[in-house]
Chains A and B, each alone.
Chain A
Amino acid sequence: MDKPLVKIEKVGQTFNTKSGKFTALRDIDLDIREGEVVSLIGHSGCGKSTLLNLIAGLTLPSTGVLLCEGREIPGPGPERAVVFQNHSLLPWMTCFENVMLGVEQVFGRKEGRLKLKARVDAALAMVHMDHASGKYPHEISGGMKQRIGIARAFAMEPRILLMDEPFGALDALTRAALQDELNGVLGSAAVRPHRDDDQRSGRHHRRDREGRAAAPA
């Protein structure tokens, strides 16, 4: 119970740029427990996305290790779903198909077509987008796209949901409304039967400009 879901130990990330090595992260330590909500706060360019990409497994650290459920993170995996900053829906698929793509991959082997469809419909309903399931991403608004992105991530029933400023590109009104909605969604996830051990508490983690982790506030 008390073992962290994700454990980040002495992680550093350096990028090779034209003007030499650039250290984006140095000595990051962070534990994320089951059911916890952690937010990374910092100036633009301080390395938030970099750390998130590391947890997602999209990039590998230069130094240190990242563990998920005790194992080193070798690469991306469906147990660590990502909601991308720019929604990243595939434009040639309808909203339904976009969500289905992930669902199929995670549950396709065990479950029948109808059950998969029910999962997608449920995820779309959760973000109040069931009315747009047949629409293509270019036919819906930016906020709606983000909601589909959240539905796609949620429908995969990940152990951890990584969100990189999912509302960053939106106007203040939409953002407030979506944050509200997401709050509701997180709540509803917490009461689902197999996740009733979830206890989501906000806990945030501050980092200074040099990319050095400060003590969690």
Chain B
Amino acid sequence: MSALALKLVEAPAKAEPAPKQPVAVATERPVTIDACPQRGIPGGQSPSEQAVTPPVREGLGEGGPRNDRFRDLAKVIIPPLFGIALMLGIWALVAIKSGNIPGPDKTWAAALKLFADPFYQNGPNDQGIGWNVLSSLKRVGIGFGFAAAIGIPMGFLLGRFVFMSRMFEPIISLLRPVSPLAWLPIGLLVFQKADPAATWTIFICSIWPMILNTAQGVQRVPQDYLNVARVLGLSEAKVMTRILFPAVLPYMLTGIRLSIGTAWLVIVAAEMLTGGVGIGFWVWDEWNNLKVEHIVIAIFVIGIVGLVLETLLLLLAKRFTYESR
């Protein structure tokens, strides 16, 4: 409405009688419309009966909806079960054909034995699978923590200042496609020890998604929000904490999720090379011991841990993502 004042002057006289009636219609209607499609009421009913239906919806709750819920549940559960059965079937078939790959039954038996005592400790090179997973997670956590501590502020700078982004863009584009394992020797050289070197590769592979996603988030902060900040005259610090940070948080969490995902991929490979304690090293060790069923178990363990990490971060992201409309 461009002619705001003009309208404003006219508004009282013109608008006063009008709203009363149509408003009633506007609020009454949706109830009628809403009710029918949701419950899928069978045809034969007249519109007026349908309009009365919403309260009945709860009353019906005993018979129909429970069946519905079962059906929904079945729809969610049955296809994955088929998938898992298919996988087990193929696995068993391959195991029978090849002869030296353990089948599901053998692996299950080995797993039961293995997980009976996941936290035993017989010297540095013979520890339970629990310790191995935990020490891998620790490396991921530390490397990732450093990457976040450096990458997120970097991302803010790159997103906020064109100069910075132009300055760092060539470096990042050049280094990002490099496999983090290529950095492992450098880490070994600098830190002189295997453990920090593995952490170093995690740092390297985590930092790129962190920087890039944060920077993208900062660049995508809607101009409207920044205009609000300017009109209100917010200080730079307040713009950071009250506007930029919340607006960027979802992007940042995406970066974190991607980083953790690759970090978990990379740690297995890095530990195979560095040795010590860790799930990657454990896989290699069991290969040397020719305990193939343990390797298969390790594959499942790595997969499950990765899945758990991903799910936790997704939940976190959901918790902190504001509703934008």
Contacts and interface: CB of A to CB of B under 8 A. Distances in A.
Q: Do A and B bind each other?
A: yes
A6 interface: no
Chain B CB within 10 A, most for which of A38, A90, A182: A90
B189 interface: no
B201 to A, nearest CB: 36
B234 A37 contact: no
A91 B247 CA distance: 9
Interface in A181-217: 182-183, 186, 202-204
Contact of B6 (A86, A175, A186, A204): A204
Nearest to A44: B2
B7 A101 contact: no
Q: Secondary structure of the A side of the interface?
A: mixed
A105 B233 contact: yes
A107 interface: no
Contacts of A166: 1, 4
Contacts of A40: 2
A86 B222 CA distance: 12
B26 A173 contact: yes
Contacts of B18: 173, 176
A58 interface: yes
Contacts of B242: 90, 93, 101
Contacts of B4: 39, 163, 165-166, 179
Interface string B7-19: 1110110111011
A202 B10 CA distance: 11
B325 interface: yes
Interface stretch (A64-72, A77-85, A119-127): A77-85
B243 A90 contact: yes
B6 A41 contact: yes
B8 A179 contact: yes
B5 interface: yes
B232 A78 contact: yes
Interface of B: 1-9, 11-12, 14-16, 18-19, 22-23, 26, 224-225, 227-228, 230-234, 238, 242-243, 246-247, 322-325
Interface of A: 37-42, 48, 56-58, 75-78, 80-82, 84, 86, 88, 90-93, 101-102, 105-106, 136, 138-139, 156, 163, 165-168, 173, 175-177, 179-180, 182-183, 186, 202-204
A-B pairs, 5 with minimum CB distance: A176-B15, A138-B323, A39-B5, A92-B246, A92-B322
10 contacts: A77-B233, A78-B231, A92-B247, A93-B242, A101-B232, A101-B242, A165-B1, A176-B14, A180-B11, A202-B9
